[in-house]
Structure formats: C-alpha cells, structure tokens
Structure 1
Amino acid sequence: MEAHGIPPQETQTVEGAAPTLPEAPAVGAEASLAEQVEALKKALEEAQAQAQEYLEGWQRERAAFANYRKRVEAERAQFAAEATALLIRKLLPILDDFERALQTLPDNLRHLTWVEGIALIYRKLMLILEGEGVQPIPVQPGDPFDPMLHEAVLYEPAEGFEEGQIVEELQRGYKLGDRVLRPTLVKVARKAEPASTAPAE
C-alpha cells in the first residue's frame, strides 16, 4: 500500500538509511591544509622571534638599571667620603692646637686635673679620627722627600744630610686610608753653595 503516493521501498530508504560519508578530500584541499600548517609554523616562528626580542630588550634594560644603581651607589659613597674628608680637614687644626699646647706645657702643671682633662679630650679626638681611618704620615729626619706625601716649606743646607732629605717635620700630615688629607710640612736639605772667592787685587 502506498502512502501519499510514495512507494514503500522508497519510504524505507529515506527514513532508515545511514548518513552519507564525506568524500575524500581532493588534491586542492590537501594543498590548502599544507598552506595552513606552513602559515601556522611561520606565525609561531615570528612569535618566538618577537618573544626573544622582548627578552633581550628586558635583559638590556635590567643590565642598564643594575649599572645605574651601581653608579648611584658609587657616587653616594664618594660623596660620603668627600664629606668625611672635609670634616676631618677642619678638625686637624684643632688637633694641632692640642698638640702644641701639650708640648709647651710646663712640667709643674702636668699633674693638674684640668690639664689631665685636656689631655683626655685630645686622646678621645685622636681615637675618633683613628676610628674613621685617619693616620699620621710617619716622617723621620733623613727620609727622602716625597712630593706625594710632603710639602717643602724650607730648603737649606744641613750638616749630615744629603740633598733632598728631610731635615725636620714642621707640621704633621695625615692620611685617610690611602688618601692624603694634608701633606706633612717639612724642611728639606739642599746642597750648600760653594763659597765665592773674591778676586785678588
């Protein structure tokens, strides 16, 4: 019996048949897939190259910042050292006054309490300066004159000394580490000039 004019066999075919499978891709479709893979590879390479560029740029900026920080720290340390050296230079004349006062003090006054107090202040000042790295420049008679450490105030012949030797220390010099804060003022020996002979009359 036919339903609505459709043969029974044709009705079964339409209602119960499995879906039709897609046909195998044509040669053109395979080429399109290969192009997509190649495009993806190219995009990946470009992304990796850009990431590497960003990484190198970040590393450069990081190194530049590290160098900047080191430079700032070095400048800060140098500024602190300059400020310390300036302050110590201002204290050195006070140290000289203490030393002159104690050297010229009469023996009959050395036992007095106030004199001992002054000597104690002098020693405390010396300890503070030594704690900052300040050391006197050692000078002995007969040492060779060194323009890096000494400043010649007088040049004169001196018996027992060769030319260029230090005869006497006139004012003590000081160093802060390896840096000369104040050179030692010294008297330096020079060769005696030959006595001039008057022409015979």
Structure 2
Amino acid sequence: MTDLRWPVDEEPRTRPDWRERFALGTDLALIGIVVTVAGLPLLTLPAALAAGSVAVHHRYTTGRLPGFRPLLRRFGRTLLPGIPFAVAAALLLLDLVALSRGWVPGGAPVLVLTTAIVAWLAGAATLILVGVGRDTTAPASWAWQQATARPWSALAPALAGALAFFLALSMPATIPLVIGFHLFAAHVISDRLAPSSPPTGTGHQR
C-alpha cells in the first residue's frame, strides 16, 4: 500500500495572554506619560515624540522597553530639527481655528480643503515618526515615498490620529495614554500598509 499523505493543519499561533497584554498597555502608558511631560514646552514636543517612537518600536519588536540613555540621545539630536515642525503644526492648527470661526474669508469649501491637506500632512508626519523610531537614515524621504506610493499608508495614520485627537479633547486626562497607544498604532499600521523596510542607519540608537 502506498503511503497516504493527509493534509496537516497548521498549528495555531501562540497568542499573548492577558498578562502580556496588560504589560504592553502599562509600557505604552508609561511611554505616553514621559512623552507628555517632555513635550510640555510644546517646542520640545517633536523631539519627545521621536524618542517615544523609538521606545515604542523597541517595545514592539523586542517585547521590552529600551534603556533611558538611547532615548535621551535621540531626544537631544531631534530637539533643534524638530522646532520648525512644532511651529508649522501650531500655524496649521491656528489656520484651521481661524477658518472654522470665520476669522478669515473662505467659508466651508476652504475649510474642508485645508482640513484634508492638514490631515494628509499629519499622516505623513506620523510616518516620519515611524521612520525615526526605526532608526532610518532618511525618515522624511522614506515617509514621502510611502505616502505617495501607497496613499493609505498616510491616510490611515491620519484617521487614527484624528480619532486620538478628538478623544484627547473630550477627555484631557487621557492625553498621555492616547499618545502612547497612538504611537504604537502608527507602527502597526505602517507595518501593515507600508511593509517595505526603510534603510536603517549605521549606528543604532536603541
């Protein structure tokens, strides 16, 4: 008799239990709290988010938090380059407020168009944070390539960011939690929608 080769079912993937999920939530909350405190001067917020992205990526890929010194180095290296991003974000937010309250002409069409542009830019900025967290050599160039080649890779983080923004506005006490979990969601979404790995730098900051 010939041997019969019956199909073999794949073994189910090991899923993290409640303890691992609780530990992940706790670590993300801790990252969000540190980022919130470090970003309170507002001009330091981009650098704080960049360091938080590094911490989230390390936690996402290794299952543990990184050391404090690599995060501090990343914060210091991103501090001055991040100031123009903070100023630009403040100006865009002020522009949206002025349009929504009728302080400047344009009406609803200009408001909708400006909102769409700001949302796309927010998604692209989120991809830049993901690239920084992955320790890329050119995170802005990689983010632009992903956002133009795969539009959903920028739109999906933008939608998630809008949801996180309105959640933070409705419950300001949750801002630290929202920041940590949104950074984690940005890395997960980027891996799903922009799977091509960005070029890593020569020296790891983690």
* TM-score range relative to shorter protein: under 0.3
Q: Which has the higher helix share?
A: 2
Which is bigger in relative contact order (C-alpha 8 A, separation at least 6)?
2
TM-score (norm 1): 0.27
Larger radius of gyration: 1
